[in-house]
Amino acid sequence: MHNLLGAMNLAYNTTLKARARLELAQQGPSCSLPAPCEAVRLWHAIGNAWLLQSNNRFWVSIHCEDYPKGLLQLKDPPLILFGEGQRQLLNARGVAMVGSRNATRTGIGNAHGFAKAFAQAGWAVVSGLAEGIDGAAHAGALEAKGATIAVLGCGSDEIYPKHHASLKNQIIQQGGLVLSEYPPGTAPQPAFFPRRNRIIAALADALLVVEAALRSGSLITARVASELGRPVAAIPGSIHSSQSKGCHAMIKKGAQLIETAQELLEETLASLPESKMSCLPLLLQEDDSLCHTVLNCDMDTDTELDESLSRVLECLGHDPLHADTLAQQLGLSSDEALAALTELELSGLVLGESGNRWVRTNGVC
């Protein structure tokens, strides 16, 4: 089963049910298969053409030696993967980061900061290249010049969302990895993304949910990770934010409440597979952890504020507050409050959310 057509026939032959294909795969690379159907031959032609376009592209079947060991723990592991980038990352130490597509600016900042810290500590950041938290996690790892793995819910030659094309290219160019279980030429479909999530969970050694609503697909990923015995953690948020309720529900059910990257890395090391222990990552130190700086709610600032701006900042908390409500509390006009908030935003001390609501930055950039 070391030829591409044979591997794709095992993975995609529609004349066989998925369970039957998995049972054949378990027999080993010499399993007997029916002749490739027309669809498999078409996918093979497209896939082969895509592979030949770059030396950075590859495929790996479930029978290959470097097939990701973590995926073998799944009940329905992908029988083939198409990748572009660093093949060595298939079995790298990694932390999965997932969360809401409709993330708040605070959530985006947290995802970026934690991913940067994980990458600086020598761990690959695994996510799904989606809008919101996923994109911020990849960007944070890239800023740290670290490794990041993007798992797609479409063919490896596709991109969703379209405006993440440059992010995908940057991942590849900076030594990261883009993976898909779907053959090149496969357009994104809603049903593909929940299945993509199981790969994210199994590929990594721990999972962090940054921000998620109660019905978020991130909770599916968390459930899979928990079933696989991976450490599962969540970042708490405002009790008034719908995008934090999924994280709070996870914490109530036993997920670890995480405030720093170091906390999750220490938890993960305790359960890290022996095959990944040969070169331990550099753990973050308590005094210089990036996330201690990013998430410190009482961080000092070199910006000297006049009395009126200080009053506005003191009144503003870490829950979103409407500008008109703030004005009423301070006895200001709406224009005066908005002018002060705009000046504070330019100083990097507050952030404007949707609906003219404002929050302290919490040190999030």
* Architecture of the domain defined by 307-360: Orthogonal Bundle (1.10)
Q: Is the pLDDT of residue 123 over 80?
A: yes
Note the pLDDT tens digit of each residue in 15-59: 999 999 999 999 988 788 899 999 999 999 999 999 999 999 999
Is 42 strand, coil or helix? helix
User: Which residues have a Cβ under 8 Å from the Cβ of 274 and sit 6 or more positions away?
Assistant: none
CATH number at 88-294: 3.40.50.450
Q: Where are the domains of the chain?
A: 4-85, 88-294, 307-360
- DSSP 8-state symbol, 211: S
- The mean pLDDT of the chain is 88
Residue 143 phi/psi, 5-degree rounding, is -65, -35
What's the pLDDT at 228?
96
What is the model's pTM?
0.82
Q: Which residue has the tokens 């995908």?
A: 168
Number of residues in the chain? 365
User: What's the pLDDT score for residue 362?
Assistant: 59
- Tens digits of residue pLDDT in 259-318: 999 999 999 998 888 778 765 444 444 333 444 434 433 334 445 678 888 888 888 876
Interval 244-258: pLDDT, tens = 999 999 999 999 999
**Burial, 352: exposed, middle or buried (Cβ in 10 Å; 0-12, 13-18, 19+)?**
middle
Same fold, 88-294 and 307-360: no
The pLDDT assigned to 2 comes to 60
- DSSP β-bridge partners for residue 177: 85, 149
pLDDT, one tens digit per residue, over 52-69 is 999 999 999 999 999 999
DSSP tag of 246: H
Rounded (10°) CA dihedral 258, 259, 262, 265: 20
Quick one: tokens of 14?
A: 């529609």
Residue 5 in this model has a pLDDT that exceeds 90:
yes
Pairing of strands 177-180, 80-85: antiparallel
CB atoms under 10 Å from CB of 56, counted, come to: 15
- Whether 121 contacts 265, CB under 8 Å: yes
Give pLDDT, residue 283. Answer: 44
Q: How confident is the model at residue 365 (pLDDT cuts 50, 70, 90)?
A: very low
pLDDT > 70 fraction of the chain, expressed in percent and rounded: 91
Q: What is the DSSP letter of 9?
A: H
Residue 234, Cβ neighbours under 10 Å: how many?
28
Lowest-confidence region among 84-88, 149-153, 322-326: 322-326
Q: How far, in Å, CA of 289 to CA of 170, rounded?
A: 26
Look at the alpha carbons of 153, 250, 208, 65 in this order and tell me if their dihedral is positive or negative.
negative
